[in-house]
Structure 1
Amino acid sequence: MKPTIKQLWGALLLMPLLWACHEETPGDASDLAAETIVVSGAEGYRKQTFAEGARIITDRAYKVTNVPDYFNGFEMLTSKGKANNGGTITTRMDGLVYIVAPASAKPQGWAVVPNTIYQDRDMMYATADQEVKLSVYMKRAYAGKPVEIPQVTTFASAVPIARKIVYDVPEEPLATSSVQGTVRCNGTPVKDVVVSDGELTTTTDENGKYVLHSWKRTGYVFISVPSGYEVPADGLIPRNFVRLDGADEEVADFELTEADNDEFTLFVMNDIHLSNTKETDDVQRFRKEFAPDYAAMLAQTPGKVYATVLGDMTTDTRWYRNNFALPEYLGEMERVAGAIPIWHVMGNHDNDIRCSGPSEVWDALAVETYRRVIGPNYYSFNLGQWHFVVLDDIVYTGANAYNTYVEDVQLGWLEKDLSHVDAATPVVVMTHAPLYRYSGMADGVLLANKNFSNPDQVDWLLEKFAKFEQVHIMSGHTHTNYYCKISDRITEHNNISVSGSSWQILGPEKPQLSKDGTPVGYTIYRFNGKQMTRHYKATGRDADECQFIVYDLNTVPATYGGNAGSNQLLVNVYNWDPAWTVKVRENGTEIPVVQSWCPDPLYSLAAEGVTGLSSAFLPGTGVPHMFVATASAPDSSVEAEVTDGAGNKWTQTVTRPKAFTWDMQ
């Protein structure tokens, strides 16, 4: 009697188990089993467990479902952001080897393991708009003879699975070119300064000297400016880096000056979006509104003062149309009275849209103009007792198209950079796009969601900071102002924009707001030892005058979120975080305050009728820093009191009914 198909497949599935039990030579049986494989000749895999929810590609949120029971718990080499990593599989004993690939791939010489015969279900992964059926494929392998991992034409690659995988990552040969130099302060060598080319790091010796065997792919070498020192600047650009010309041997020296910066102030600005657009008159408004305000605050701030811009200094789509790009932005910032050097962060709108090539290399090309005009798009420096890390979390994929995450080369550099930093050192991470964003409320609790293109990429980045006791993320991009406590160790502050809705809301009678109702401005951070506090500053307003606004919802039209007859007060606390308290008193008696998720009424009024307003700035977006109190009468006297985590207190007395007008405070 001939065996049935089902019996044949059953025998095939048992073969690896039989081979694993047959040990022909002494030693560890697991090392001799057919299910132990060595993967060589490939780079870019990430090992993980093949189980329900495993990622089929690491930079995508494509998770496997319906994993066959037999293979559940195997090790898998997931493709690390590439469609086909290639390489070979070698076994120490004869047996079957396995790969996972789309069912439609049908790689030549590989047979499908018919898992659906036994489980009546299909293994899948899901994209945004479809489900892709997966199969486990098998092939006979002989001890010591490599089996090529097949290339597949569909999006997901063929990935190896086995009971045990030894992943042999080939080492890149040492670069034959080098860069060396000395770091000095007033002629004296400075020891232990971290030097990097964007891939490798080293430190200076007792003579202040360093040597890097570098491939020079970024075109420069930079230092992580040590605490207690500063670097000279060319205009607004700190010279923490030296450009390289690509010669086999190059010299790059650095000069430091001593600075007592254990206490300092940091001005944080972002999303300036200068473009010289006639319709918005952005440059003239920047000169009249922002520049004098910023200059005045610089002049009146005592002690050491530094500045950063968290990306989107310009608008990429207007670089060539309006003849206004990064050099012109620098010119405008240099016009500010008392302008100081700026630590820049790259934003999505700071890429060059005239680069060309396939999408997978667009980011590497589009960044070159920024590197030429501004400098490194990721680097680190130290101020006082703090370590600052600047990251580029925009991966440009085409003209005005991008993903948000930190790519692998940068993550590799980050790991090396942080290896030189003590775990007790507080860290500030500066990015353009936020890691987290609020999406609403449930049962009175704000819902914070990971904001990278693939949520898992947020975890991969934060893993690099696991040893640190205190990590603060500063981001921009959203043009709003919010604070998110990610964990007891990690917080994120998404900072308000200078341009509001990218200067699109016009007219002297209209308040310049961001879509969360926060007036345009910037944030001033104070550092003292390991302590940090922050203060929101509205452009054109006194620093303590504009911290919150109170709406009388009885007088706000329903179109803008009002609720006639409700006697409700809506308090928008622009710079709120969980350490803040919000109190409302009616005729001297405190009444309950409840955090809410709703749009800002005044922004809805300001945005009304604006022609061509970008979709990102349409009104109606919920705001995480809203609070509601219900009074007992429509005309009672109300006092709102807001206190921040440092004990600073602001109060506002509201005479009701309070009119809803353009110029309300």
Structure 2
Amino acid sequence: MKRTLTITALLLAAIGCRPVPDATLEGRVTLDGRPVAGVLVSDGTQIVETNKNGKYFMISDKADSVVFITTPSGSVAVSEDGLRPGFWAALTEAPDKVERHDFKLVSENQERYNVLFFPDIHLSNDPRRNDIRRFQEKVAPYIREKASDMEGPVYLMNLGDLTHELYWYEFDFNESDAYNMLAELELPLKMYSVTGNHDHDGAIVGEDVDFRSAWIYRKVWGPDRYSVNIGNDHWVFLDNIIYVNEEGKGKKAPGIRGDRSYLESFTPKQLAWLEKDLSYVPDSCNVYICTHCPFFHGSNISEGRATLPDEQLTFIDSLCTRFEHKVLNFAGHIHKFDFFSKKEYPSFFQYGLPCASGVMWETPEEYSLYCSDGSEAGLMNGTCVAGIPMELSFETYDHGKRNYSIYDMNSVGKAYKNSAEVKIQRKKAPERADYSNRKFRNSIFVNWWTWYPGCTIEMFENGKALQVNAARHEDPVNNFTYDLPQLAHPVKHHAVRNNVSCIHMFEAKASKTDSPGEVIFKNEKGEELYRETIARPLPFIF
């Protein structure tokens, strides 16, 4: 008997296995057809490594119904559809049944690579907004052109709300339909995703609704937490939406049974996995965490506030202190720019990104797409080179690189005075800004979309410095391209909402109506970023 056991052990060693009597998950990872050791494999709770023959074994309860790998640097998981890297597999057997899932990697030169951030595209197949056609005519060609022009591999980082669950059943278009449309476009890139609040099934209510309502998302895009190594960088994708969807309440729509409510938070299980995942990452790595909801709500006149629970942010900050570079959080959800950090959490910085669909395609088609902070819609681009922090730039779909808007409030005031829609809005919501008021005469507003704490603006009139103040005014372009058109169908959205102030607005007062001006934008080091000379009166156009 002893001899038999010894022979068995030798045979197992010879084929690179180790006895795991109760393993319920196993498989093999190959790179360019050869087994690769040290690849991390997870079921969302545990993390194990492949052995020298590329094999892994895991005793899993399969609670998250997926198994996935952390793709090693210099490789990418083989994609069967050209869009989704095959780094994950759905678990279909009972917890006590053994499943085998193999993963295939191919080598990829990642010394230089690029990312396009893709937040809140809100595809719904709505005939009123024509979102599918507008996406195919405006956004898809932009993505294709950018990806084709970039040097090195390109990844599309979907930050959630690819679809809009309110309309899944009304317009027969859900997460699976959005995937099929994207796959048919054959874009020259790979796509990674996180879950947004609108990516859950609003028809699902009751016990364990957060997990059950994400069934289509999981089927199409995979796990709600995972990581990928690209070049010298470690990318983490985390779902920070806990879907509540209380039954019988909220906005009613065909097929929707609940109020579609949610919490902005991580689960303890996600944070435990994150701690394990980051423990494998070298201190020198750049770490990027993609979520749907941002960590903070920023401000240019206060210290802002945390969006997530303080104890969760404190925990994440403690995990990130050892990294040589500040950890970056990329998020969507808020439909506006919100670049921010808080001194209580010094280890990471937030890039809150605006809606890639403007405000859910509500901007009338005669205008460019605009977001809720008045910024023009587009995508944030990131270029990553080995050993160098990511270089970020924002480009609009229609006008290329733009980072700000400048308003001569004399011209804006005339537009407000002559607008019948503004008069209606003022009657329904007198608290809204009235830019025809004389107190705004000769004011110059600058909406610096990509502002972040430490950056400054200088304004001059005929070479004379003006006093610049941070302000919380609403953006006039947002009012004319979103709020005022909503007056035609107020049932669909808030036409008279009062919380529309912009967190990156600055103002100065000129002495004359026709004096030329100059605006200089500087970063936190006092270095000049942009400079623009304006001839006044400056027309109010959009």
| TM-score, normalised relative to structure 2 | 0.83
2:313 counterpart of 1:458: yes
1:23-73 Cα deviation digits (max 9, x unpaired): xxxxxxxxxxxxxxxxxxxxxxxxxxxxxxxxxxxxxxxxxxxxxxxxxxx
Q: Say which structure, 1 or 2, has more relative contact order (CA 8 Å, 6+ apart).
A: 2
Shift of 1:345: 0.8
Matches within 5 A, 1:381-400: 381-398=228-245, 399=258, 400=260
- 1:301 match: 150
Q: Does the 8 Å CA contact 1:486/1:492 hold for their aligned counterparts?
A: no
Taking the aligned partners of 2:45 and 2:445, their CA distance within structure 1 comes to: 50
2:497 counterpart of 1:651: no
Q: Does the 8 Å CA contact 2:336/2:355 hold for their aligned counterparts?
A: yes
CA RMSD across the alignment: 2.4
Shift of 1:420: 1.2
- 2:461 match: 586
Q: Does the 8 Å CA contact 2:204/2:212 hold for their aligned counterparts?
A: yes
- 2:333 match: 477
- 2:11 match: none
Q: Does the 8 Å CA contact 2:461/2:516 hold for their aligned counterparts?
A: yes
- 1:640 match: 519
2:349 counterpart of 1:491: yes
2:409 to 546, 550, 553: 553
- 1:86 match: none
Taking the aligned partners of 1:397 and 1:495, their CA distance within structure 2 comes to: 24
Shift of 1:597: 2.0
Shift of 1:512: 2.2
Taking the aligned partners of 2:227 and 2:477, their CA distance within structure 1 comes to: 40
Shift of 1:290: 1.4
Shift of 1:518: 0.7
- 2:216 match: 369
Taking the aligned partners of 1:314 and 1:213, their CA distance within structure 2 comes to: 35
Taking the aligned partners of 1:308 and 1:337, their CA distance within structure 2 comes to: 16
Taking the aligned partners of 1:180 and 1:302, their CA distance within structure 2 comes to: 37
Counting strand residues as a fraction of each chain, which structure ranks higher?
1
Shift of 1:574: 1.4
Taking the aligned partners of 1:429 and 1:616, their CA distance within structure 2 comes to: 34
Taking the aligned partners of 1:428 and 1:307, their CA distance within structure 2 comes to: 14
Taking the aligned partners of 1:590 and 1:425, their CA distance within structure 2 comes to: 43
Taking the aligned partners of 1:622 and 1:192, their CA distance within structure 2 comes to: 50
Shift of 1:338: 3.2
Give every structure 1 segment of 4 or more consecutive aligned residues whose post-TM-superposition deviation is greater than 6 Å: 645-648
Shift of 1:413: 1.3
CA distance 1:567–1:447, shift in 2 (3 Å): same
Taking the aligned partners of 1:302 and 1:196, their CA distance within structure 2 comes to: 32
Letter in structure 1 aligned against 2:219: R
Shift of 1:322: 0.9
Taking the aligned partners of 1:542 and 1:643, their CA distance within structure 2 comes to: 21
Taking the aligned partners of 2:186 and 2:521, their CA distance within structure 1 comes to: 33
Shift of 1:337: 5.9
CA distance 1:521–1:267, shift in 2 (3 Å): same
1:253 to 91, 102, 106: 102
Q: Does the 8 Å CA contact 2:154/2:190 hold for their aligned counterparts?
A: no
- 2:362 match: 504
2:326 counterpart of 1:447: no
- 2:251 match: none
Taking the aligned partners of 1:619 and 1:288, their CA distance within structure 2 comes to: 33
Taking the aligned partners of 1:261 and 1:616, their CA distance within structure 2 comes to: 47
- 2:90 match: 243
Taking the aligned partners of 1:654 and 1:387, their CA distance within structure 2 comes to: 43
Taking the aligned partners of 1:342 and 1:617, their CA distance within structure 2 comes to: 37
Taking the aligned partners of 1:602 and 1:283, their CA distance within structure 2 comes to: 24
Q: Does the 8 Å CA contact 2:461/2:510 hold for their aligned counterparts?
A: yes
Shift of 1:480: 0.5
Greater C-alpha Rg: 1
Taking the aligned partners of 2:498 and 2:185, their CA distance within structure 1 comes to: 32
Shift of 1:578: 3.2
Taking the aligned partners of 1:321 and 1:517, their CA distance within structure 2 comes to: 30
Corresponding residue SS for 2:166? helix
Q: Does the 8 Å CA contact 1:595/1:628 hold for their aligned counterparts?
A: yes
1:491-533 Cα deviation digits (max 9, x unpaired): 000011111221123241x442111111111110122224112
- 1:518 match: 375
Shift of 1:446: 3.0
Number of residue equivalences: 479
2:130 counterpart of 1:270: no
Shift of 1:342: 0.6
Percent of residue pairs identical: 28
Counting helix residues as a fraction of each chain, which structure ranks higher?
2
- 1:599 match: 474
CA distance 1:190–1:586, shift in 2 (3 Å): same
Gapped regions of structure 2 (runs ≥ 5): 1-19, 246-257, 417-432
Q: Does the 8 Å CA contact 2:125/2:171 hold for their aligned counterparts?
A: yes
